[in-house]
Amino acid sequence: MTQPLGTVMLDIEGTQLGDEERRLLERPEVGGVILFARNTRDAEQVRRLTREIRELRPDMLLAIDQEGGRVQRLREGVTRLPSMAALAAGYADAPDEVRLRVHEAGWLLGMEMAACGFDVTFAPVLDVDDQRSPAIGDRSFSADPAVVAALGDAFIEGLHEAGMVAVGKHFPGHGGVTLDSHHALPEDSRPLSVLREHDLVPFKALSGKLDAMMPAHVVYTAFDTRPAGFSPSWLGMLREEMAFKGVVFSDDLSMAGAHVAGTPAARAEAAWSAGCDMVLVCNDRAAALEIVDAAAGRTSKRLGKLRYGRARPQLETLPALARWRRAHARLEALSETPAS
């Protein structure tokens, strides 16, 4: 039976745990840790750090933002992944070849992150790139929703083949706004009918394959006055209309786009009430402590399903796999080539 986990995921300061962090991570409300670039010198050091956390809390979910391109927190000792736009280059002329390339990228990413000790890498990005959003851009596979859905599917299959879960973001789509929700609260005024025919297409198509989703800190004014991550209407659509049965993560509650909901505890309460299973709070320890206190008594059984369930691959033996060597060489070469 899946054991329930606490509903807060937070960050740590450095490349190993401090005494105060150890005490914080022992609190049952904390169900996960996310690592950032400051926590990662190289793959071997990250593996030691994830082991250190697991010795303290074997049940803890360990996560990282490792998409490829500009969002790649761990860079030393693992493959330099190209952006999703670079992976998708040439799809119109050779769809089968590009789909295989994307599948292998998902597989390689899953194998490397599993070897480093992670359960979750927050990928793939399923936003449609309308060339408006500074937060998305080449993080997206395409400006065509059908291409995003097709390549997102291939990436998910690759992750799953490696035993890694897939997290789709940023539901229902961050590509149609000009502001970055890290720094402001974007508003998207397009009608719901347009969102259904465009931004929502990949999320709906892949809802049955995704293990988790992350909603955007964006207000879609034609549907709700609240950002999607605080909206029971949006997350209700996800659960009911799209029949999504996986985990819903909030995006980072320290981002400017989340501040509309009030204090850190109020933001967390808004996310939980809307239907989020786990909230992320990063780069703000005072806010994290407030949210951990607010999470007393909250648990989720869904979260335990995200733990990596296989014998983990070993970093030092991955290069012995001919498949890894081929994928590694192709992806490293592609990461040095601008997307066309």
Pairing of the two strands 212-215 and 247-248: parallel
Quick one: which H or E segment has residue 121? Answer: strand 120-121
Q: Which of 59, 160, 182, 259 is catalytic?
A: 182
The confidence score (pLDDT) of residue 173 equals 95
Question: What does the buried/exposed string (b/e) look like for 69-108 if buried means 16 or more CB atoms within 10 Å of the residue's CB?
Answer: bebbbbeebbbbbbbbbbbbbebeeeeeebbebbbbbbbb
Q: Model-level pTM greater than 0.75? A: yes
Q: Encoding tokens for residue 93?
A: 């002329």
Residue 336 predicted with pLDDT over 90: no
Please state the rounded mean pLDDT for residues 162-183: 91
First to last CA, the chain: 48
State CA 242 to chain mean position distance.
19
Strand partners, 300: 5
Q: Is the dihedral of CA 49, 287, 122, 304 positive or negative?
A: positive
In the annotation, is 251 catalytic? Answer: yes
Residue 17 above 70 pLDDT?
yes
**One-letter amino acid of 267:** R
Question: What does the pLDDT read at residue 2?
Answer: 74
Side chain identity, residue 125 = V
Per-residue pLDDT reduced to its tens digit, 304-324? 999 999 999 999 999 999 999
pLDDT at position 337: 66
pLDDT-based confidence at residue 325 (cuts at 50, 70, 90): very high
Phi, psi of 121 (to 5 degrees): -115, 130
Across the range 232-249, mean pLDDT stands at: 98
The predicted model gives 142-167 an average pLDDT of 98
Which pLDDT does position 340 carry in this prediction?
44
Given pLDDT bands bounded at 50, 70 and 90, which one contains residue 93? very high
The one catalytic residue in 11, 211, 251, 277 is 251
| Of 257 and 224, the one with more pLDDT | 224
Active site includes 198? no
Residue carrying the six token digits 């992806």 = 331
pLDDT tens-digit profile of 258-312?
Answer: 899 899 999 999 999 999 999 999 999 999 999 999 999 999 999 999 999 999 9
- Cβ atoms within 10 Å of 27's Cβ, excluding its own: 16
Judging by DSSP bridges, how do beta strands 66-68 and 71-72 pair with one another? antiparallel
Mean pLDDT computed over every residue of the chain: 95
What average pLDDT does this structure show over 59-66?
Answer: 97
Residue 338's pLDDT is 56
